[in-house]
Copies of this chain bind each other. A is one copy, B any other.
Amino acid sequence: MSVSELAARLERPFSGDGDVAIDGVASLESAGPGDLGYVRSSAFASRARASAAAALVAPPDIDVGDRPVIRSEQPGFDFVRATRLLHPSAAVAAGIASSASVAPDASVDPTASIGPGCAIGARARVGAHTLLHANVTVYDDAEIGADCVIHSGCVLREATRVGARVLLQPGVMLGGDGFAYVAGVGGTIEKVPQMGRVVVDDDVEIGANTTVDRGALGDTRIRRGAKIDNLVQIGHGCDVGEDVLIIAQAGLSGSTVVEKGAIVMAQAGVVGHLTIGERAVVGPQCGVHKDVPARVRVLGSPQREGRLQQKIVAALPRLPDLLRRVRAIEKRLAPGGGGDGNG
């Protein structure tokens, strides 16, 4: 594709030689002839000028040297769009691999693709153009919508619901039993049956080896557009809101509500039955033990309002010396200790 053609499809202006051919994308450092790179901001201008990229997507008014450049106010977004145009997803052959096992009363759309070793349970449903890579397990009564990609090793337990355009990375476990026990007679520990489901709405993406437990009575819900990273734990009965981001190795205990647009950063943990408000931010490794109001940022373990926690963190290195200083003051003020400072 030529630079001029690419610019036209992106509906962005370009300068320089529009006939230069582009056949792929690359980082500024690794780009060579035929590659399109992109410039995030003026901070990357010198790296851009040093790049061997054949052409660039760049913000207006940044000098990126003598080469074709497509100008954009949103260079990251337009580079993503260019990537999709230059590397269209390979079409996947529809059909069911001979080594897959599909229950007779399961319903697999004829345009879906079911890889080798997949197991599809009774009454389960797989939607149009959905791709199950090898060795995916779909239990009885589970449903997957259209245009999903489910990677190898994923397991969807009984009655899980997955919407359209959902992307599950390898090893995602949906619908494991929640962790719930009650004391029985004579100190025994009795398992609480987990009767609810996992319900994943449209346009959700879930990272590798992440686990989402089924609800005890109601459902565990992951709402439209939420993005969940690798090795995250979502407890039973959680409600993860629209466009929420949860970063790697974070964990939500049972019945946590994360409202629309909130962000839970890596390795953070949330005690159960709490609400993380709309557009709130929970910092990395944060320990959340009470509600986080909307638009508030919390840091630390246990959580504190962000600026307070930053002040504490800044003050802590002075604590050992502070102990010494207070001791010195006390000595001085002690009988015979040197009096009032005028001695």
Binding site for B on A (CB under 8 A): 25-27, 29-30, 74, 76-77, 80, 83-84, 87, 97, 99, 101, 115-117, 119, 121, 133-135, 137, 139, 151-153, 155, 157, 167, 169-171, 173, 176-177, 179, 181-185, 189-193, 195, 205, 207-209, 211, 213, 216-218, 225, 227, 229-231, 233, 235, 243, 245, 247-249, 251, 253, 266-267, 269, 271, 284-285, 287, 301-302, 304, 308, 311-320, 322-323, 325-326, 329-330, 332-335, 337, 339-342
Given contacts A74-B184, A101-B116, A332-B333, 8 further A-B contacts (CB under 8 A): A87-B193, A87-B195, A135-B155, A171-B211, A235-B248, A266-B269, A308-B317, A340-B340
Residues of A contacting B: mostly: loop
B176 adjacent to A230 (CB under 8 Å): yes
Contact partners of A266 in chain B: CB under 8 A: 233, 251, 253, 269
A341 partner, pick from B169, B173, B315, B333, beta carbons under 8 A: B333
A248 adjacent to B207 (CB under 8 Å): no
A99 partner, pick from B27, B101, B134, B173, beta carbons under 8 A: B101
A76 to B169, CA, bound (A): 37
A320 partner, pick from B185, B245, B312, beta carbons under 8 A: B312
A181 adjacent to B269 (CB under 8 Å): no
Which among A117, A245, A329 has the greatest number of chain B C-beta atoms within 10 A?
A117
B173 adjacent to A153 (CB under 8 Å): yes
**Given A119-B115, A195-B87, A318-B323 in contact, is the A153-B182 Cβ separation under 8 Å?**
no
A342 adjacent to B342 (CB under 8 Å): no
A135 partner, pick from B117, B189, B207, B231, beta carbons under 8 A: B117
A340 partner, pick from B233, B243, B301, B339, beta carbons under 8 A: B339
A251 partner, pick from B133, B179, B248, beta carbons under 8 A: B248
Q: List 29 A-B contacts (CB under 8 A).
A: A77-B182, A83-B193, A87-B195, A99-B117, A117-B135, A135-B137, A152-B155, A153-B153, A169-B173, A171-B209, A176-B207, A177-B207, A179-B230, A179-B248, A189-B225, A209-B209, A209-B231, A211-B230, A229-B233, A231-B231, A233-B248, A269-B284, A285-B287, A301-B301, A308-B317, A315-B320, A322-B323, A322-B326, A326-B326
Q: Which B-chain residue is minimally distant from A24 (CB atoms)?
A: B195
A80 partner, pick from B99, B193, B312, B330, beta carbons under 8 A: B193
